[in-house]
């Protein structure tokens, strides 16, 4: 039998942009015994997580929790509100936006895929003005939904959701607004209600610090109303029965009890740190990481500084260097996993995750591992990236300390 040693000395550095490392507190919470999912204790757990998760999405409306990966919640969002043959406007920002579009095709929808030409589209954010223009031209309101990915995990670009909301409003178009926050929730500022999002899709294994296995639809009253007349087939994904059952803290079927323990713990951790502080920490780590990449003399994958991701940083390799060979050196030598280039970016870049249970020193160690690995792979760096990241991080925390003392 193949024997794999998953437990070398120290922690594995899981610096891919999801799944992100699961904190010990959450792993311990998951180890509580599985209970009767129809019993009274379960109802209390259900009500607690269903209520708590609303604070993370910043919504007063129902959040549906599925026992599925993020991809399942993508499908749920589409099939609850749309009908066969409906036109949906989607925006190409990278690999995940492309997969969601393929799913729409598979479900019998007609996606229109807007985007900047060529590789530009994969190095920039959603262009709200293009959406506005397209919606203005759609005078017959054939477009039923606008779908965007908030944080494009394949590239390291965080698009401006509020700007897309403004674009839809400026065009005076009634389309529903769907946002994938699978890798941005609990990392990046997000406001489901305030930004008028109709369905927010999210997942467990990125900012929420849980293992893979549950995912979410936050649902607006407008989306709920649309689901009454939408005719795409749905059964397991149907919101109605789940939301009805959720009112008392239960599900119509057996939910993922142990992941709900984990979710309860994660919500407590995030709200304990303060959602705004969690977001600020991600912003700080993203900036520190980019300073190191620039000092190395390497190119950041995202071309537009206005949409740099606080969740991960895509690092372009010099011409002729295979990014996957560099990742292999780092994995074998330093026990650290980095994200690979996906789709159009395969082999051309690697991705450094700095999300979830990640702090200043986690990032510094990650950057040290990258720097040593890049050198071992024979890439000549302009200079060390560590001093740039360190002085930024130290300066930042010093300032925070001074502010707190004032």
Ligand X SMILES: *Cc1c(COP(=O)(O)O)cnc(C)c1O
348 is in an annotated binding site: no
Pairwise CA distance, residues 197 & 218, whole Å: 9
Report, in Å, the least distance between residue 274 CB and ligand X: 24
Residues near ligand X, by CB under 6 A: 18, 69-71, 96, 149, 153, 180, 182-183, 203, 212
Check: CB of residue 114 under 8 Å from CB of residue 98: no
Check: CB of residue 386 under 8 Å from CB of residue 367: yes
Of 96 and 195, the one with the shorter C-beta distance to ligand X is 96
Of 96 and 308, the one with the shorter C-beta distance to ligand X is 96
Of 20 and 257, the one with the shorter C-beta distance to ligand X is 20
Of 184 and 291, the one with the shorter C-beta distance to ligand X is 184
Go through 229-251 and write b for each residue having 16 or more CB atoms within 10 A of its CB, e for each that does not: ebebebeebbbeebbeebeebbb
3-state helix, strand, coil in the chain (%, to 5): 45, 15, 40
Q: Which of 141, 134, 195 is nearest to 163 (CA)?
A: 195
Report, in Å, the least distance between residue 148 CB and ligand X: 10
Pairwise CA distance, residues 212 & 67, whole Å: 10
Residues paired with 179 in a beta bridge: 148, 200
Of 81 and 148, the one with the shorter C-beta distance to ligand X is 148
Report, in Å, the least distance between residue 150 CB and ligand X: 7
Report, in Å, the least distance between residue 228 CB and ligand X: 27
Of 18 and 249, the one with the shorter C-beta distance to ligand X is 18
Q: Number of helices (H) and strands (E), helices first, in the chain?
A: 13, 14
- 147 SS3 class: strand
- 290 SS3 class: helix
Of 18 and 385, the one with the shorter C-beta distance to ligand X is 18
Tell me whether the omega of the peptide bond preceding residue 19 falls within 30 degrees of 0, making it cis. yes
Report, in Å, the least distance between residue 251 CB and ligand X: 19
Using the 8-state DSSP alphabet, how is residue 139 labeled?
T
Residue 72, both tokens: 């399942």
Report, in Å, the least distance between residue 339 CB and ligand X: 10
Of 107 and 388, the one with the shorter C-beta distance to ligand X is 107
Pairwise CA distance, residues 180 & 164, whole Å: 13
DSSP secondary structure letters along 216-242? EEEE-HHHHHHHHH--S--STT-HHHH
Report, in Å, the least distance between residue 78 CB and ligand X: 13
Residue showing the smallest CB distance to ligand X in the complex:
70
Residue 92, both tokens: 């190409």
Using the 8-state DSSP alphabet, how is residue 54 labeled?
H
Report, in Å, the least distance between residue 202 CB and ligand X: 9
Would you list which residues are annotated within the binding site for substrate? 351
Would you list which residues are annotated within the binding site? 351
């Amino acid at each position: 039998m193949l024997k794999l040693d998953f437990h070398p000395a120290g922690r594995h550095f899981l610096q891919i942009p999801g799944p992100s490392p699961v904190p010990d507190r959450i792993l311990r919470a998951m180890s509580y015994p599985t209970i009767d999912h129809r019993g009274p204790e379960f109802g209390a757990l259900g009500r607690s997580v269903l209520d708590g998760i609303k604070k993370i999405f910043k919504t007063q409306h129902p959040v549906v929790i599925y026992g599925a990966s993020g991809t399942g919640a993508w499908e749920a969002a589409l099939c609850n509100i749309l009908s066969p043959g409906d036109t949906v406007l989607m925006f190409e920002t990278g690999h995940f936006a492309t997969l969601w579009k393929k799913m729409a095709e598979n479900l019998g929808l007609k996606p229109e895929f807007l985007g900047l030409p060529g590789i530009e589209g994969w190095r920039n954010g959603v262009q709200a003005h293009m959406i506005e223009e397209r919606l203005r031209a759609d005078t017959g309101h054939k477009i039923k939904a606008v779908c965007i990915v908030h944080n494009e995990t394949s590239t390291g670009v965080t698009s401006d959701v509020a700007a897309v909301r403004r674009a839809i409003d400026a065009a005076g178009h009634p389309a529903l607004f769907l946002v994938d926050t699978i890798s941005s929730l609990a990392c990046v500022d997000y406001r489901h209600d305030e930004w008028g999002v109709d369905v927010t899709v999210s997942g467990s294994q990125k900012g929420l610090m849980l293992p893979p296995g549950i995912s979410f639809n936050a649902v607006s009253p407008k989306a709920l109303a649309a689901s009454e007349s939408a005719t795409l087939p749905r059964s397991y994904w149907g919101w109605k029965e789940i939301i009805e059952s959720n009112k008392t803290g239960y599900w119509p079927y057996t939910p993922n009890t142990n992941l709900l323990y984990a979710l309860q713990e994660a919500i407590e951790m995030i709200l304990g740190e303060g959602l705004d502080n969690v977001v600020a920490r991600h912003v700080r780590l993203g900036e520190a990481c980019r300073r190191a990449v620039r000092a190395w003399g390497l190119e950041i994958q995202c071309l537009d500084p206005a949409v740099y991701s606080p969740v991960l940083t895509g690092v372009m390799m010099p011409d002729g260097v295979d990014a996957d060979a560099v990742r292999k050196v780092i994995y074998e030598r330093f026990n650290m996993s980095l994200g690979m280039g996906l789709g159009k970016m395969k082999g051309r870049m690697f991705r450094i995750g700095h999300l979830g249970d990640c702090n200043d020193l986690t990032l510094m160690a990650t950057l040290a591992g990258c720097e040593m690995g890049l050198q071992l792979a024979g890439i000549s760096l302009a200079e060390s990236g560590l001093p740039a990241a360190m002085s930024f991080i130290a300066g930042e925390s010093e300032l925070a300390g001074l502010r707190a003392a004032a």
